[in-house]
Structure 1
Amino acid sequence: MKVLVTLFWSAVIGEVVGYIITALAGVPDEPLSTLIVSLVFGLFVLLISEVGVVQPKK
């Protein structure tokens, strides 16, 4: 469930940020490219959260 929520919000926030950046730069918006980049970044964040977090020793 954590993966789906993270990917959903990375897609939504990525699309909003992509729209704002392309509007400010004056270039045409490409939603598919923005979606792919934001999902890859979301997967990267999930990978880092699983690998980079040290579990406490008992």
Structure 2
Amino acid sequence: MKLVVALFWSVCIGQVAGYIMTALAGVTDNVFWTLIVSLIFGLFVYLVSKIAVIEPSESK
């Protein structure tokens, strides 16, 4: 479920960022490629967070 939420927000934020960048550059917005790049970046960030974060061990 966390993966679905992470991908959802990466798509939302990616689309907004893509729209702003293409509007500033004065080019047409390609929604498909922005979606693909957002999903890949979101998946990459999710996988890095799962690999890099070390869970604290319980010590008594």
- The alignment's TM-score, normalised by the length of structure 1, stands at 0.94
For 1:2 and 1:13, the matched residues in 2 are separated by: 16
Alignment of 1:19-38 (within 5 A): 19-38=19-38
For 1:45 and 1:2, the matched residues in 2 are separated by: 12
Computed over aligned residues only, the root mean square deviation of the Cα atoms, in angstroms, reads 0.8
For 1:11 and 1:54, the matched residues in 2 are separated by: 27
Count of aligned pairs? 58
> Which 5+ residue runs of structure 2 have no aligned equivalent?
none
2:16 aligned residue: 16
Shift of 1:56: 2.0
> Which 5+ residue runs of structure 1 have no aligned equivalent?
none
Letter in 2 for 1:42: G
Write the deviation string for residues 3-56 of structure 1: whole angstroms up to 9, x where unpaired: 000000100110011001000000111000000000000001100110000122
